[in-house]
C-alpha cells in the first residue's frame, strides 16, 4: 500500500506527502486493526530483534499475515477518504461565488466529522507499518542465515 501522511487541512490520512484525507465506510478495517493492536506490538521489540528457531519463524510469518490483512484494509479505507477529499477539492476549484463558499463549508464540515476517526486509523496504519517492517526484516534475516548454514558457505 501507499504511505500515509497526516498534516494539513481537510484531510485525515493520505498518501505520503499529502495531507491525509482518507476514509471509507465499514468496520472490517476497524476490527482488523483493533485485532492487530491487541497483539503484543513488535514495535516494542528492538528493530534488530532476532528469530532463533523455525517455530519462531513460523509464528512470525503467521503474525505478519494477520497484521497485513488489517494493514491492507486500513490502506483501502484511508485511500477512499483521500479520494473523497480530492473530489471535493476539485469541486471547490471549479465552483464560483456562493457555490465556492458552500463547497468550502462542506469540506470543513466533513473534515471535522472524520478527523478523529481518521487520525486514529492513520495511527494504527503507521503502527502496523512499523510492525510489519520489523517482522519481515527478522524473518528474512533468519531465512538468509538458515539458507547460508544449510549450503555451508556462511561468511
Stated pTM of the model: 0.66
d(CA 112, CA 12): 10
Q: Tens of pLDDT along 115-126?
A: 999 999 999 999
pLDDT digits (tens, 9 = 90+) for 50-70: 899 999 999 999 999 999 999
Under the banding of pLDDT at 50, 70 and 90, the label for residue 26 is very low
- What is the average pLDDT score of the chain? 77
Give tens-digit pLDDT for 80-104. Answer: 999 999 999 999 999 999 999 999 9
CA geometry: angle at 10 spanning 117 and 69, to 5°?
40
d(CA 106, CA 63): 41
**Distance, CA of 38 to CA of 124 (rounded, Å):** 11
Shortest CA distance to 32 belongs to which of 1, 77, 2?
77
Residues 103-113 have pLDDT tens digits of 999 999 999 99
Which 3-state string (H, E, C) describes the chain?
CCCEECCCCCCCCEECCCCCCCCCCCCHHHHHHHHHHHCCCHHHCCCCCCCCCHHHHHHHHHHHHHHHHHHHHHHHHHHHHHHHHHHHHHHHHHCCHHHHHHHHHHHHHHHHHHHHHHHHHHHHHHHHHHHHHHHHHHHHHHHHHHHHHHHCCCC
Task: State the cell numbers at 64.
Answer: 505478519
Of residues 8 and 51, which shows the higher confidence score? 51
Q: What pLDDT sits at residue 99?
A: 96
Confidence of residue 153 (pLDDT cuts 50, 70, 90): low
Amino acid at each position: 500500500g501507499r504511505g500515509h501522511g497526516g498534516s494539513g487541512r481537510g484531510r485525515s490520512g493520505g498518501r505520503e506527502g499529502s495531507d491525509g484525507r482518507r476514509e471509507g465506510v465499514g468496520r472490517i478495517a476497524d476490527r482488523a486493526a483493533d485485532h492487530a493492536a491487541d497483539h503484543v506490538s513488535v514495535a516494542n521489540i528492538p528493530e534488530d530483534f532476532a528469530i532463533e528457531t523455525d517455530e519462531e519463524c513460523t509464528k512470525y510469518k503467521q503474525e505478519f499475515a494477520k497484521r497485513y490483512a488489517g494493514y491492507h484494509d486500513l490502506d483501502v479505507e484511508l485511500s477512499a477518504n483521500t479520494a473523497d477529499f480530492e473530489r471535493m477539492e476539485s469541486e471547490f476549484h471549479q465552483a464560483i461565488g456562493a457555490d465556492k463558499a458552500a463547497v468550502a463549508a462542506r469540506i470543513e464540515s466533513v473534515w471535522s466529522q472524520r478527523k478523529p476517526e481518521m487520525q486514529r486509523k492513520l495511527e494504527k496504519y503507521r503502527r502496523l507499518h512499523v510492525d510489519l517492517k520489523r517482522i519481515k526484516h527478522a524473518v528474512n534475516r533468519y531465512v538468509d542465515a538458515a539458507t547460508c548454514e544449510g549450503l555451508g558457505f556462511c561468511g
